[in-house]
């Protein structure tokens, strides 16, 4: 594992190469507290609709139990745009190893980026490299170009799903307990989401 963090200084930008420390903290604590549109809530691991069946089949195969609930619904059609795995600890983790690594959900692939585009400050590597600390004015940190590109691809997928399934662009957000938390104007949200994650 290369622990070197490369930093391009002088342009207000630093690029850190992400190397997972394999502590599996993130897999043991899947419920995260986030603040969206002024509302605090706890969410589970973000899943896309096509990942739900796949994960249920894998759970059956590995004799694990998964609890999956809707996360985002289009308010006009009630169509579920995204789901969440609400187990506190991932049932696919055994002795710090992911048993479905090659088939793991997309959210696991671009972590410590979150499905909201932020960087999760509870990741051990993020803490170690101070990525969770406030940046100097105008400074941007990109955690691994590769991870960033993977995230951009996934955020485009989210964008398309919303445009296709939420014609009125109003999304209802549910927490991991299935409680309705807030309604988001998807158009405004997506514009901000995209500009924040160029």
90 near ligand SF4, judged by CB under 6 A = yes
Instruction: List the one residue from 15, 17, 25, 197 that touches ligand SF4 (CB under 6 A).
Output: 25
124 token code pair: 């051990």
User: What gap in Å lies between CA 152 and CA 14, rounded to an integer?
Assistant: 18
Is residue 83 at the binding interface for ligand SF4, with CB under 6 A as the rule? no
Distance CA 81, CA 142 (A): 28
CB 155, min distance to ligand SF4, A: 19
**Per-residue interface string for the shown chain with ligand SF4, residues 114-153, x marking contact by CB under 6 A:** ---------xxx----------------------------
Asked if 23 interacts with ligand SF4 (CB under 6 A), we say: yes
How many chain residues bind ligand SF4 (CB under 6 A)? 20
Name the packing angle between helices 145-165 and 186-196 (round to 10°). Answer: 170
Single out the segment in contact with ligand SF4 by CB under 6 A; choices: 74-82, 93-101, 152-160, 163-171: 93-101
Q: Any residues with CB less than 8 A from the CB of 141 and at least 6 apart, and which? A: 13, 14, 15, 16, 119, 131, 135
Residue in 5, 14, 16, 27 binding ligand SF4, rule: CB under 6 A: 27
Tell whether residue 31 is a contact of ligand SF4 (CB under 6 A): no
Count Cβ atoms below 10 Å from residue 91 Cβ, excluding itself. 19
CB atoms under 10 Å from CB of 78, counted, come to: 9
Closer to ligand SF4 by Cβ: residue 89 or 191 = 89
CA-derived radius of gyration, the chain: 17
Q: Which residues bind ligand SF4 (CB under 6 A)?
A: 20-27, 90, 92-93, 98, 100, 104, 108, 111-112, 123-125
């Amino acid at each position: 594992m290369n622990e070197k963090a490369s930093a391009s200084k002088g342009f207000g930008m630093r690029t850190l190469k992400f190397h997972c420390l394999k502590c599996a903290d993130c897999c043991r604590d899947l419920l995260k507290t986030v603040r969206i549109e002024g509302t605090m809530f706890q969410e589970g691991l973000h899943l896309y609709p096509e990942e739900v069946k796949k994960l249920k089949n894998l759970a059956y195969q590995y004799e694990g139990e998964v609890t999956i609930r809707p996360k985002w619904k289009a308010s006009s059609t009630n169509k579920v745009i995204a789901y969440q795995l609400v187990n506190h600890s991932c049932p696919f983790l055994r002795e710090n190893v992911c048993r479905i690594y090659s088939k793991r959900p997309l959210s696991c692939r671009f972590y410590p980026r979150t499905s909201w585009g932020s960087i999760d400050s509870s990741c051990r590597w993020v803490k170690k490299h101070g990525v969770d600390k406030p940046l100097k004015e105008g400074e941007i940190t990109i955690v691994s170009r590769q991870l960033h590109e993977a995230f951009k691809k996934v955020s485009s997928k989210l964008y398309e799903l919303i445009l296709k399934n939420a014609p009125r662009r109003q999304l209802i957000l549910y927490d991991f307990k299935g409680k309705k938390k807030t309604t988001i104007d998807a158009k405004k949200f997506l514009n901000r989401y995209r500009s924040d994650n160029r």
